[in-house]
Amino acid sequence: MPDTVGVILAGGQALRMGGGDKSLLMLGGETLLARAIARARPQVQDLIINANGEPERFAPFGLPVVADTVPGFLGPLAGILAGLEWMRSHRPNARWLVSFACDSPLFPTDMVEPLVDLASESRSLIAVAESNGRTHPVFAVWSAEITDTSDSVLVKDGFRKVEDWISGFPHRSLSFSVDPVDPFLNVNTPGQHAFAEDFIARQGAIR
């Protein structure tokens, strides 16, 4: 969609899987990050990666790498805020930031447009994906009208959870089908990784 910037949240440390860059974990012959880029890129005008540490390790992907502006590995909220700040500085005419988590390798390839439509029609600043009655606040669209910064949210107000911060804004949620599988399945544990590996081997990465 025009006027949209996507940010892939790739800062996971894979603590429940032995540590390391979760985004570079292999799944079905590709890294989680490569899968996320392939699914996100066609849906947005510009795409960036949010990750901390040495950005050179992501050079093969050819995308801007944006680090959190508040140190301490404070989680996805820090990445979303860093994305909003990058958008203000580098794409001032963009209307929406879209956040994607790279550890959900089956997220919908038709997610962005209906979320933007919902937010626009309801005059909300945020629209969040939902499946099976559960919201997924790391998969959301964020209006450029949001002026909060990493410093104001993470330092001054002390927020850590995305859902707690969202509660202060007009927002809506949109449900996505879980047939044949929940598209927001996380790969956080060896068991979840094995399930995703088996699903992709049997059915491919659903579109």
Mean pLDDT, range 112-119, rounded to an integer? 98
Burial 127-166 (b: 16+ CB within 10 A, else e): bbbbbeeebbbbbbbbbbebebbbeebbeeeebeebeebb
pLDDT exceeds cutoff 70 at 13: no
Separation of alpha carbons 28 and 119, rounded Å: 34
Q: What is the mean pLDDT of the chain?
A: 94
Half-sphere exposure for 120 (CA within 13 Å, toward CB): 8
Separation of alpha carbons 95 and 112, rounded Å: 13
- pLDDT tens across 130-181, in order? 999 999 999 999 999 999 999 999 999 999 999 999 999 999 999 999 999 9
Q: CA torsion 72→164→102→179, rounded to 10°?
A: 160
Mean pLDDT, range 7-17, rounded to an integer? 72
pLDDT at 1: 86
Q: Is the pTM of this model over 0.75?
A: yes
Separation of alpha carbons 113 and 176, rounded Å: 13
pLDDT exceeds cutoff 50 at 15: no
Task: Report domain extents, the chain.
Answer: 4-203
pLDDT exceeds cutoff 90 at 16: no
pLDDT at 157: 97
CATH for 4-203?
A: 3.90.550.10
Measured CA distances, 25 to 31, 32, 103, 179 (Å): 5, 6, 9, 25
pLDDT exceeds cutoff 50 at 69: yes
Q: Give the distance, in angstroms, between the CA of residue 149 and the centroid of all CA atoms in the same chain.
A: 18
Give the number of residues written for the chain: 207
Structure token digits, residue 44? 């947005």
Separation of alpha carbons 192 and 32, rounded Å: 13
Mean pLDDT, range 101-117, rounded to an integer? 97
- Give the confidence band of 204 by pLDDT, cuts at 50, 70, 90: confident
